Amino acid sequence: MHAILSDTRAFEGCLGVDVLIDVADPTHIVAIEKWASESAMRPTGVAAGDGKTNLASFLASPPY
């Protein structure tokens, strides 16, 4: 996950990613991504799951 988050942070338009881990359940992780715009997020593959990152495989639900 660390590598995926590093890759996501490196995408143009990504303003940052904060990660919150539930102390009671460390398998419950929330990633809050900040993007310059919705259009900046979509081409990265984060939302589309197009193979540029594996983040989609970790998600319990769509990111939006």
Average predicted confidence (pLDDT) for the chain? 76
pLDDT at residue 15 tops 90:
yes
Whether 18 is in a domain gets the answer: yes
The predicted structure's pLDDT at residue 24:
96
pLDDT at 21: 92
**What is the pTM for the complete model shown?**
0.60
pLDDT band at 55; cut points 50, 70, 90: low
Mean per-residue pLDDT, 21-28:
91
- Give how many domains the chain has, as a whole number: 1
- Yes or no: say if 5 and 46 are a contact pair by the CB < 8 Å rule: no
Residue 63 lies in a domain: no
Does a structural domain hold residue 6? yes
CATH number, residue 6: 3.30.70.100
Q: Which residue, 29, 22, 24, 23, is CA-closest to 2?
A: 29
Asked whether residue 44 is domain-assigned, the answer is: yes
